[in-house]
Amino acid sequence: MRDPDALIARAGLRGDPERDQHFLVDDRVLDRLPGYLPDGADTSHVVEIGGGTGGLTDRLLSVADRVTVVERDPDLAAFLREEFAAEIAGGTLTVVAGDALEVDLPAFTASVSNLPYGVSSEIAFRLLPAGRPLVLMFQAEFAERMAAAPGSSEYGRLSVTAGHYADIEVVEAVPKEAFSPPPAVESSVVRATPRVPEYDVPDDESFMALVRAVFTQRRKTMRNAIRNTTHISGIDDPEALIEAAGGELMGKRAGNVPPGEFARLARLAAEQG
């Protein structure tokens, strides 16, 4: 395996915190990341967002039939093309220079990525709806919120929306020292195993809008949150929905409402509308 510090030296480029660049340089963490994919995961085409200097890319090439790396920094993309010229020529690696939020992502079977933290949420929600297994590095606080259960202090909109697409697990805590330069925050590795939710929703968009709306007023009861956020949820007749939902649910706060109950609310809202 290529040494991550040697890759940085060959690239002649240092990570830049101002540009959200923190290269993962701990060999042990890099070696473990591909192994967090669920057992039996299809690794015929793995996408990596934010290739950096290629430490993780190198590990992914050892387990995947084909890897596509998306790297927004043109200098880093050029270095990856030079460093991995043999793999590119052999058809096992493609380097895409561009912003992962803007480029067309290829059809992929899995993703393993050390995401740029400033846009990690947006990238995660580009990947999650694809219904593929993901192993992603996030800020620790963000990861805990993704995986949080109803009733916990971390449970919120992110927990519900991420859990709509996959089972979310925090599989490893990663210290600041594993990166160059070290970020200001601790990091965690999240595994997302796709699944069909145990509930039905009218459509993802209206479900997500309802969840987003009520969590903007998480300290209020669901009754008041629904009344106050129709401009976000798009609910036409909040009073009819409140009556149909029943007093027990409407007396709760959003942080204590499980995803299945949000789904029931979205169905009732669709019936009302």
Fold of 4-194: Rossmann fold (3.40.50)
164 is in an annotated binding site: no
**Which pTM value belongs to this model?**
0.94
Amino acid 29 reads V
Rg (CA), the chain: 21
Fold of 204-272: Helicase, Ruva Protein; domain 3 (1.10.8)
- What local confidence, expressed as pLDDT, does residue 16 receive? 76
Known binder of ligand: residue 71?
Answer: yes
Location of each CATH 1.10.8 domain in the chain: 204-272
Span(s) in the chain for CATH 3.40.50.150: 4-194
* Helix pair 4-11, 74-83: axis angle to 10 deg: 120
Residue with tokens 């895409």: 96
pLDDT at 69: 98
99 labelled as ligand-binding? Answer: yes
- CA dist 141 → 145, 148, 188 (Å): 6, 11, 8
Q: Count the neighbouring beta carbons within 10 Å of the beta carbon of residue 103.
A: 12
**Residue 268 is labelled as binding a ligand:** no
pLDDT of residue 18: 73
CA distances from 253 to 4, 154, 218, 240, 248 (A): 47, 14, 6, 19, 11
Which segments in the chain show pLDDT lower than 70? 273
Establish whether 256 is an annotated binding residue: no
